[in-house]
Structure 1
């Protein structure tokens, strides 16, 4: 019975490369000379540090540009609050989302069940497995999910015949 998995997984090596390229650009840009502007990646969390909030916005713009250039969807980023740290410095933590939350997984299964397609959806951890009798039904389910869930960067893998 054909099946596929719907997942939400970023390309972590590309995220790491984008963060490193952002750090290089910050080090070489004239407007960041002599400031505390920095960006680093640690365990699916990107930490941005700057002298003021406007610097964090500039660093985030650079990071988004680098991620987009490397074909990483920026919808994977979950921005945290700006925190003040010692002195005049501010910090912001951006989490890199991976895995489908249970609420989103339930929404996907509900969409599949309401569509009257001859497929079944089952939540398996942080992925949703969709099985059906025909490959065409599965492809229709993929199109339906892409159309009805635009706020998440979903990908489909593990397609089995």
Structure 2
């Protein structure tokens, strides 16, 4: 029998993020406490989201609204890296980026964790920005998934291609 395997990835469904962004933008335009504050949220590039507001408090409140929409769409907050608020003239701006892919540093941490604490006979291979975990026993793979879910690597992990 061939080895069973699955891939560990860190990807974000851009359409879901886009939906969350549009929901947040709609809420910013309709909510009473955001009236006349210049609060807005928009894409600036492929992976960057920019928030604007007249005051830092309204900017942080707009960020909370966006994070709430991300959570409702089942997108981990680890996938959105928000920067620091910066004043630009009379407007406060905040830029955040979507974090996708597993860096080689994080991939090495994950493989070390699997080697040290995972079941025997489980192999992990780094393949670009994802990780392939394979074993002869499917139960061992389930154990590795639960092990990785219990650990915080600072990135959002998804488990795909389970065969």
Q: Are 1:111 and 2:137 counterparts?
A: no
Deviations 1:73-117 (A, max 9, x none): 1121111122222x3101111111111111111000001111252
User: Unaligned 5+ residue runs, structure 1?
Assistant: none
Counting only pairs closer than 5 Å after superposition, residues 53-132 of structure 1 correspond to structure 2 as 53-85=56-88, 87-115=89-117, 116-132=119-135
* Separation in 1, partners of 2:34, 2:7: 44
- Which consecutive unaligned segments of at least 5 residues does structure 2 have? none
| CA shift digits 1:120-150 (9 cap, x unpaired) | 1111111111111111111111111111236
TM-score normalised by structure 2 residue count: 0.91
CA distance in 1, matches of 2:150, 2:72: 24
Which one of the candidate residues 11, 14, 17 is aligned to 2:13?
A: 11
Which ranges of 4 or more aligned residues in structure 1 deviate by more than 4 Å? none
Q: Give me the TM-score of the superposition, normalised by structure 1.
A: 0.92
Deviating more after overlay: 109-118 vs 53-62? 109-118
Give the superposition deviation at 1:8. Answer: 0.9
Partners of 2:80 and 2:98 within 8 A in 1:
yes
Taking only aligned residues, the RMSD between alpha carbons, in angstroms, comes to 1.4
Partner Cα separation in structure 2 for residue 119 and residue 3 of structure 1: 9
Report the count of equivalent residues.
Answer: 159
Partner of 1:39: 41
SS in 2 for 1:43: coil
The answer on whether the counterparts of 1:84 and 1:91 sit within 8 Å (CA) in structure 2 is yes
Kindly indicate whether the alpha-carbon contact (under 8 Å) linking 2:37 and 2:55 is maintained by their aligned counterparts in 1: no
- 1:9 touches 1:98 (CA, 8 Å); kept in 2? yes
Verify: 1:50 aligned to 2:46, yes or no.
Answer: no
Cα distance between partner residues in 2 of 1:16 and 1:60: 15
